[in-house]
Amino acid sequence: MAQSQAKTIAIIGGGHNGLTAAAYLAAQGFAVEVFEKRDIIGGLCVTEVPFSKCGSKVKVSSVASYFGMMRKEIMADLSLEDHGLKPYLTDPIEIVLLDSSAGEEQFSFTPRDGGEAVAKIASATAADKAGWQAFWGDIQKAAALIYPRYLAPDLTQSEIVELLKKNGLDKIADHIFAGSLVDLLKQYLQSADLMAVAATCTPGFANLVGSVFGCIHHGTAETKGEFGAWGQVFGGMGAITEALAKAAQANGAKIHLGQAIKRLVVSKIDGVEKVSAIELADGSTREFDLVAVNADSYVLFEQLLAPTASTEAIRQYLKDNRPKVSAAKLHFLLKELPSLKTLRKIDHNHKGVIVMAPPLEAVVAASTQVPNGAMPDRLMMTMAFPTLEDQSMSDGDKPSQHVLTVDVHYVPARINGQAWSEADDQTLLDSTIQAIEAQCPEIRSLILDSYVVSPRALADDFNLASLSCWHLPMTPQYLFEKRTLPGCAHYETPFDNLFVCGAGTYPGGNVTAANGHNLAKHLIKKYSNSSTLTTAAKGR
């Protein structure tokens, strides 16, 4: 314990960012307590056992399921591997399935090591293949330039553009905050089908501004020392947050589960507004010197804080910028491993990520349908069988059963202006199964049970009031210097002792842990005697 005058700090939310902040701050001698509303740690980065009602012990990564964005520096600082975090790479990495052309299967297949990537896409010419390599080479270079700065919240959009130009990445510089991925791809290739493959690499719509950054952000993934590679985690994504919780506890932090914070108590002393206490669901209050909120800003400003004049601009900003696009995750408990048509033909082992890419025109159509409250005509889906390579996720008593996990990339946050209903969940379930049937006509007969994490579950069960995967969208309007609350510096709020560290802060969403790390660094600088920093807390 390095700090002479330990400050008490409450962290609201036990998502991966809250836990990361807790681990760093506790290492520095802050007296940290984490309050998590759910009975399980992890927020969106969690492993659960959803099919116990039908007697199955299989586990699923309920919401986030792919590893790679977690910063390796944080993993090392907090000794997360010693606390049980074991990521792995799949072989192959991925296969992207497209609609067939003139009755011929179309796909792009990326092996892990050795063997060459194969693209069987009718419209792709030799020039396209060279353009494809050049495109991914440039995206990787851009990702490598940007990602080290995720751990220092001082990078601006114009600096990024300059940095890219200085490194000869002019095409990317011109499009990263001002163009679309489709516009950028047109500078490298002509095949619309190849563009449809690339369109699956950005979380947004490839024809809209912001999608280039989305592609680069995903390109910052690193698994087991392989830059650009996404992987998975033994034990599911919950193994990350369990390791973070252990690191925080080993450093002295206390973690309270099933402890919803109902309200922040604000007092005004000498004209300065301050959060003086937190109120728990049972009405009891606890006083802390500092409060950091991992829950999204919609929870903070619409649920936990009573409206005051000092928060009016922020509340209006949140109202005006309520995310219109969300995502969904579906888990299917299957009697046995299904066989997908294209995979069977090429003797694929069903490992790694299997992406179903809609044609580019369907992505373009979805980019207006979804923000306007309608389901897309065609679903963009990323699928995996996590039980295939990780025995700890399967039910040892029923080894033939498997889980198929499906990400539906974009769905409306609200359907025709209304919150998602049970009927909407059912529609999503039906259309997802129908989309899988294109590759596996017998899929319905294999499904024993299903678990749908729609925007309804994200709001009701995962306490994600924003309904956004990243607490705020990841478009230029909300990136880098613009990823702050109006009128506030990074991680700050209008209240002296109230801070934020969720995915809505710099550098943005996904399981990076950077936001929690950066908040901790900010507080350590603000409140600690820097000469007393521990190694873990100094670093970056």
If binding is defined by CB under 6 A, does position 50 make contact with ligand FAD?
A: no
If binding is defined by CB under 6 A, does position 83 make contact with ligand FAD?
A: no
Instruction: Quote the tokens at residue 75.
Output: 């993993």
Nearer to ligand FAD, 68 or 92 (CB): 68
**Cα–Cα dist 209/474, whole Å:** 10
Answer for which of 16, 483, 521, 522 binds ligand FAD (CB under 6 A) is 16
**Cα–Cα dist 141/220, whole Å:** 10
Structure-derived torsion over alpha carbons of residues 135, 141, 142, 143, reported in degrees to the nearest 10: 110
Shortest approach of ligand FAD to residue 355 CB, angstroms? 13
Shortest approach of ligand FAD to residue 40 CB, angstroms? 9
Shortest approach of ligand FAD to residue 150 CB, angstroms? 13
Give the residues across from 94 on adjacent strands: 110, 353
If binding is defined by CB under 6 A, does position 45 make contact with ligand FAD?
A: yes
Find how far residue 389's CA is from the centre of its chain.
22
Answer for which of 12, 98, 196, 318 binds ligand FAD (CB under 6 A) is 12
If binding is defined by CB under 6 A, does position 14 make contact with ligand FAD?
A: yes
If binding is defined by CB under 6 A, does position 65 make contact with ligand FAD?
A: yes
Shortest approach of ligand FAD to residue 193 CB, angstroms? 25
Give the residues across from 492 on adjacent strands: 499
Which contacts (CB < 8 Å, 24+ apart) does range 95-98 have? 95/342, 95/343, 95/348, 95/352, 95/353, 95/354, 95/355, 96/197, 96/200, 96/355, 96/357, 97/340, 97/342, 97/354, 97/355, 97/356, 97/357, 97/439, 98/193, 98/196, 98/197, 98/357, 98/359
Shortest approach of ligand FAD to residue 464 CB, angstroms? 5
If binding is defined by CB under 6 A, does position 294 make contact with ligand FAD?
A: yes
Answer for which of 23, 64, 74, 244 binds ligand FAD (CB under 6 A) is 64
Residue closest to ligand FAD when measured from CB atoms: 15
Secondary structure of residue 240 in the 3-state scheme: helix
Answer for which of 15, 210, 235, 386 binds ligand FAD (CB under 6 A) is 15
Site for ligand FAD in 450-469 (CB under 6 A): 458, 463-464, 469
Shortest approach of ligand FAD to residue 375 CB, angstroms? 15
Token look-up 């392989």 returns: 226
Nearer to ligand FAD, 184 or 215 (CB): 215
Site for ligand FAD in 512-531 (CB under 6 A): 515
**Cα–Cα dist 157/168, whole Å:** 17
If binding is defined by CB under 6 A, does position 410 make contact with ligand FAD?
A: no
Which range of residues in 14-22, 181-189, 354-362, 387-395 is near ligand FAD by CB under 6 A? 14-22
Nearer to ligand FAD, 179 or 323 (CB): 323
If binding is defined by CB under 6 A, does position 331 make contact with ligand FAD?
A: no
If binding is defined by CB under 6 A, does position 47 make contact with ligand FAD?
A: no
Buried/exposed code over 105-128 (b: 16+ C-beta within 10 A; e: otherwise): bbbbbbebeeeeeebebeebeeeb
Shortest approach of ligand FAD to residue 361 CB, angstroms? 25
If binding is defined by CB under 6 A, does position 150 make contact with ligand FAD?
A: no
Polymer length of the chain: 540
Regarding beta strands 498-500 and 104-110, do their DSSP bridges make them parallel or antiparallel, or are they unpaired?
A: unpaired
Secondary structure of residue 246 in the 3-state scheme: helix
Site for ligand FAD in 490-509 (CB under 6 A): 502-503, 509
**Cα–Cα dist 34/14, whole Å:** 6
Report the sign of the C-alpha dihedral through residues 175, 176, 179, 185, in that order.
positive
If binding is defined by CB under 6 A, does position 191 make contact with ligand FAD?
A: no
Task: List % helix, strand, coil for the chain (3-state, nearest 5).
Answer: 35, 20, 45
**Interface ranges with ligand FAD (CB under 6 A):** 12-18, 35-38, 43-45, 63-66, 69, 260-261, 294-295, 299, 327-329, 407, 458, 463-464, 469-470, 502-503, 509-511, 515
